[in-house]
Structure 1
């Protein structure tokens, strides 16, 4: 009886800690309003969550040997602390959530009791944000008078107004990019639930397609393209059909969806936001949105200090004196070279590669398993990792809280099932 109570108490505490992290990651832009005490409350929340997860980790309880990926994480944490551009400026929030998320990885990659609550929470929150997106699209006056002022201290009114006037739907978030991340995360959970199910019904696809439609409406090109690639990849790897049937079914489904999309756009023009953005950028002659110029400047900065770099998250400070504003590189692989040099970038690249390798092996091992929870977890983890690694080509997911959080939990899931695959 006491053992059962202990297990229930431990499970509750673990899920509570995970809930604290999810709440932070899914309320971006509301930090000053949620954590009224400022940094003390925010960092106290991080510390409490980390302490709970650490005390319930088999690694701490039994002092087990670190895996290669866990050892790599310790190297990454040390490098970020030693070679950091923001510590001297007294700026801590981005540094703190980066360090805490990587520390959390050390502990949650040792067990999987948290995955059910975590993924279900992500699904529910993503659906809520999707519904809010539709609501504020239909009630633009409320968006202008309520949502824009709420996030005014996170995103400038000018940026919000630009997105609003161009039809890019932000929902109840500071910008369309954050909204798209919330929605595609929920889409990943819903999609994973469907494809691992033994009894698929047509109605089970309603939620995934609803979320995909809202993702189109956000107007975020990269998020949509990389999300679709990840979905297709996971579907093909998970399918047990022969290659001809796979491709035939894929072509037929794609053709059907294109027809449905063409018809739907006639009634919901916002679905074409992604294509409108492509068209507008092409007419301006800047389909890259100015990224090539930023990449060139970042690579030039890297060559000035190729081994050590200029410090973690330093690029925006290098860019500002020349161009008059701060921005990230919008290519994580290049920014790592600029920020921490070859010596710091290589461990990050190794972590990316090893995590992807491990989740692929776990996926292969559990592909024909009857453990639907494990299959769902791994499908979601593979989906998020594929999306993240692709998004790193044109975005800043390593430097933004929500995509980093999603990536870290996907790596932890992959590492857990990879390390325990021979014990099942």
Structure 2
């Protein structure tokens, strides 16, 4: 057995063993990387190398966008934006059977897109709508399932932190602007698919509809929400037009969110201390994950793991259809026990060279990977979004699984469409001239 093969075995066995023992993901990544590197070089150079790679891994201007978007999301969550979006969605589509479930989905899409955070969307929308849905006859576990699955759309529809991380992990082969524009169609497809499944459920269960509102009320609710929606135009439009970078756009989003909170009179100076503390805590966790994951990604390159895997898959599995299916299954499994940030940073350098060899565009693969991991954050045993959504709804996780499974099945169908129909991901970036 070659030293390279032995290193790969040690890396993955130690990593999975540490996860199984309950070690936090970031520590598991760092420890397993150091152990594997010790097989090639002595103790001091190994620990120094890992430390250096962690430091240089986060020494990237583009990563500054992440703490800014996290802060903007916290401000929006506190500033009453969710309530305005819910009122607008309710006026727009609440009169259909199962209207509040549609409202949940559309509100989560809008709020997730504005804040860039699935957890923020699940918390804000779920805490506002769950009690109202139960009062109107919706099973509480069904409401939680709708909230959990629909909150993932904010990870696809820009601005999205995970798309910024994928752009970093791709080594510049996929730009943030191209990924942002590419995310609209997949995000809308997921939202439409979830609403379609809700439609059949509502028909079967005879769920109620909200009272239809007049044009005057619709325009009033739109007026109240339009300033929040304008943020999407400013941030994404500015990035695509080349007016500013993703990092600059994130800083602008913070300033805009603060101004909007004060204009709406739902944000005060005393609110900033808890907002900043929560943002700092979340940022520290995310950046530490990124640092250790970048060290492991460097180790992959050092051990030539991507090249070995590319050669193996091309030699053993000649059919690109089956290779993509294998990668999808692998990522779905990975998503059940690993958070999105380390999963993107670890597996992008492994799988991206494989799919590019088969002619898959990096932007398309970004959409495939993110949607895979969106399904993962809704599933146990890790399932961050699953636990947040269940906690907000005050429903045991075990009761949410049953109504959640059909919705995840719909998301899996969209995943297959993205995998085998490239234009679903690439058409919009081509229209805007962001890719060839």
Higher relative contact order (CA 8 A, sep 6+): 2
Higher helix share: 2
After TM superposition, the score normalised by the length of structure 2 is 0.29
Could you tell me the TM-score, scaled by structure 1's length?
0.30
